[in-house]
Amino acid sequence: MKKNILNSPLHPVAGIRLGTACAGIKKPDHPDLVVIEIAEGSHTAAVFTQNAFCAAPVVVAREHLSTTPPAYLLVNTGNANAGTGEQGLADAQACCQALAEAAGCAANAVLPFSTGVIGESLPVEKIRAAIPAALNALDAKGWDKASWGILTTDTQPKIFSTKIEIDGKTISLTGMAKGSGMIRPDMATMLAYIATDAQIEPTDLQACLQQAVNQSFNRITVDGDTSTNDACMLIATGKSGVQLQTGSAEFEQFSQTLTALCVELAKGMIRDGEGATKLINIDVVSGASDKECLDVAYTIAHSPLVKTAFFASDPNWGRILAAVGRAPLDDFELDKVKIFLDEVCIVEQGGRSPGYTEAQGQKVMNRNEITVRVELGRGDAQANVWTCDFSYDYVRINAEYRT
């Protein structure tokens, strides 16, 4: 078994237990069902996919979350239960009912999540049969097993855990995520579950999560495709006894820590992108607005020619220059634009930098993690996007996805 890709020590979060089981949804004897138990009195925030064809579990989870505080999260892999119409909604509800009956709670206190193949009926009976095993496996230290149980084409789990000290007390934050392909905001193709033992009011918790997501999961792209099933959950159990209120220095410290945790999980997805061999940070600075910085960054990140050049470790800087030039900006002032590969300036004054050499470019392109920095010379705005290269294996993995 491979190590956690983020190599972070895991801290249990008081009030959270996780159990994993094998339901045989797509493969026999494969961990593919996860139950997360949430202590009474906890608050939960959520961000879901913006894809119009959102999956049945997303519809049901949104509905249940609006009616009652969740007591359990139910996650299955191997089947997305998306594009399945009214039957898909009924199947998602049936799985919630099955867990509710086994755990002794109301059905609307269960939030369902699915990931996998789109357009196939959810195997409700297999899930129903595996729920008792998942409940029996519930453990505060169950994060590691659960992180394997939520994977699809991922090769490694993504878990990150940290602690912060506030007023002499310790707050724990632990999160896990899955995502490897069909990654593009808003949100990326992903499931993410984050928990903390801090005490935070629901509206503050939601705002904190949205801010963190906007700076992390909404800034990554593997292939430009937005999934039908994306969800990110943040649970605050309050078990630490530390109450955080918006506007305080302590709340800001927590918010920054949460964002940093989400960034690590997001970058973990890019490192484990389908067929990826390189993590590419695209940093666009001195723009007139955040939007135009993001427009430039995504134009670079979504260019197959740029991505294949990175896979080949080919310092073909013209690919990057062309991508920047076709970004939807008004009144482009080419003479002000500078483009860098890490520390090497490759473009300035409208063309190749006079001091640039192929050897300098090759040295950077041989690295596993590379920053493309674009200076627009138009203002003070800045934006980051993380992406990866485009390899033979990406095509193979997706061509064989259903086999």
SS3 (DSSP) at 323: helix
Q: Tokens at residue 70, please?
A: 């969740």
CA distance 152 to 76: 10
Q: C-alpha distances in angstroms, 338 versus 124, 273, 305, 373, 378? A: 55, 29, 20, 8, 12
CA distance 4 to 147: 9
- Across 150-170, b (16+ Cβ under 10 Å) vs e yields bbbbbebbbbbbbebebeeee
For tokens 């627009």, name the residue. 376
Q: Tokens at residue 293, please?
A: 């910085």
Q: Tokens at residue 68, please?
A: 């009652």
SS3 (DSSP) at 307: helix
Nearest to residue 25, comparing CAs of 182, 158, 130? 130
Q: What are the catalytic residues?
A: 189
